Amino acid sequence: MNIESSLSLSGISSNGNQINSLPTEFFSKLCKINTEEDLLQASVGIVYQSLKCDRVVVYSMQSESLCKIVAEAVTPGFAQILGTTIKDPCFEARYIDKYQKGRVRAITNIYDAGMTPCYVENLEKIDVKSNLVVPLTRHDNSLYGLLVMHQCSGTRKWEQPEVEFALRVAEWTMERVFQQLAYLELENQVKNSQAAQQIVKNIVTQMHGVETSQEVLNLAVVKAKELLNCDRVIVYGLQADSMGEIVAEATIPALASILGSVIKDPCFEYRYHDQYQQGRVRAIPNIYEAGMTLCYTENLAKIGVRANLVAPIIWDNGKLYGLLVAHHCFSFKDWQKSEIEYFKQIAFHTGLSLSKAKLKDQLQSIKTGTTELNNIKKTISIAKSKIQQVQKPIQNTSQIIVEINNLNKLLERELNLINQTSSLQTRKDTKLIQIIIKKLTGITSKLQQSLYIVSNDQYELDTILDEAVTQLFDNTDS
């Protein structure tokens, strides 16, 4: 007896009031169950109680000829087959197609149904005399499994309301199962998203904590590679026109390093530069099907790339520093929206961190320059003080020289008088000359001491001034 799926599922009628009253109670119960296993078990339980059959099971399809009993309600005394994996070569692909299309099969007597001997033997092993099979289908009409009712104590003619009831239970069970699966999938996506967001947050925190530009770049490629689980991540630092250099890289050991490579890429025209500066992000799952220019495809193929993801690194008030690029080399890759978004965030914060590192360098240069200028100022102040110290001994020396000149003039005058006269006054004049010479000797000694002091002070002053000039020129050059 074959019953097509066009049977109405609304208005199940039966002489037994229990079947009419059960759906509301059953569906209310299903809504309170949260796991797939419990949902299936509740379904077989309610069908078992309602139809008063000997066994109800759910066959979960593992492959075309392999299935597993994942839920069971059975009368004591008959075989329990829960958890059993059944390889059924009789269940060919044509039967799967039929059940996917809604086939329902109600068999009153397995020996009169024209089934293959192997299938009859399998049913005999678990005491089945009659069975009712309805499909459990997914939203895309693929076959999830079968809801199967067994009568083991004797043969049984399945009534139309019973079949319709089983169909309705199967439909509502699958609806609830896939609602639950969708919820779990969404929940997993949320958890994964939250976990990934936390990872990105940690990366950003680390990135903003490093001191130098190279540290920022190295951290960006390492963390992006870990987050995307790809084969290589690089930073392509732009230079003049179509030139660029790989300035940072994280790669798996199986790939040759391309760090430091200078790439002349004539395909990277100004229009691409402008697009990336405006925030363009490009995800390519297959470089051979992306419509790229031949030269660009060849450049990627040379380094083993099959799929890539490119995001701009913007820094220094909107300038394009370069590109953060992820490579997948051993297979093609469909980049997920979440992966693209996280990659964009890393690229964005790489640019911010580079700007921050550059600002730190500038502030450090200013700080260093200020320190040097303060040192120069201090040196000049010392020189000024030393000049003031030198001025006094120079003044003393000048006074001594004036006094020596005066004594020299006096001595010269007295000597002239002696030469002009030979009177008694000569002895007196000679004594005066001796006094003058004695004074000249003392003053000359003072002059020598003063000149020595001036010479030393002048040497120190010259040294201080030379140091100040050197510091001033060094600071100007830097």
Q: Indicate the residue type of 283.
A: A
Per residue in 189-241, pLDDT tens? Answer: 666 667 667 777 777 788 777 878 898 899 999 989 988 889 999 999 887 66
Instruction: Report the distance separating Cα 89 and Cα 73, nearest Å.
Output: 25
Instruction: Report the distance separating Cα 44 and Cα 82, nearest Å.
Output: 12
Q: Domain 2-181: state its class.
A: alpha beta
Contact 354, 315 (CB under 8 A): yes
Q: What is the pLDDT of residue 2?
A: 36
Instruction: Report the distance separating Cα 13 and Cα 19, nearest Å.
Output: 8
H helix or E strand, kind and range, residue 145:
strand 143-151
Going by their DSSP bridges, the two strands 55-63 and 66-74 should be labelled as: antiparallel
Q: Domain 210-335: state its class.
A: alpha beta
CA angle 240-242-246, nearest 5°?
85
Domain 365-477 has CATH 1.20.58: yes
- Its sign, for the CA torsion 362, 365, 371, 375, is negative
Q: What is the pLDDT of residue 311?
A: 93
H helix or E strand, kind and range, residue 122:
helix 117-125
Instruction: Report the distance separating Cα 238 and Cα 323, nearest Å.
Output: 8
Residue 91 structure tokens? 């269940």
Domain ranges of the chain: 2-181, 210-335, 365-477
Residues of the chain with pLDDT under 70: 1-31, 63-65, 88-94, 186, 189-193, 195-196, 240-242, 265-271, 361-373, 376, 379-380, 382-397, 400, 404, 407, 410-412, 414-415, 417-434, 436-437, 440, 442-478
Q: What is the pLDDT of residue 162?
A: 93
Q: Which residues pair with 309 in a beta bridge?
A: 283, 326
Q: What is the pLDDT of residue 14?
A: 39
- The beta-strand segments (E) located in 222-279 are 232-238, 243-251, 262-264
Contact 33, 39 (CB under 8 A): yes
Q: What is the pLDDT of residue 429?
A: 59
- Report DSSP state, residue 289: G
Q: What is the pLDDT of residue 149?
A: 96
Q: Do domains 2-181 and 210-335 have the same CATH topology?
A: yes
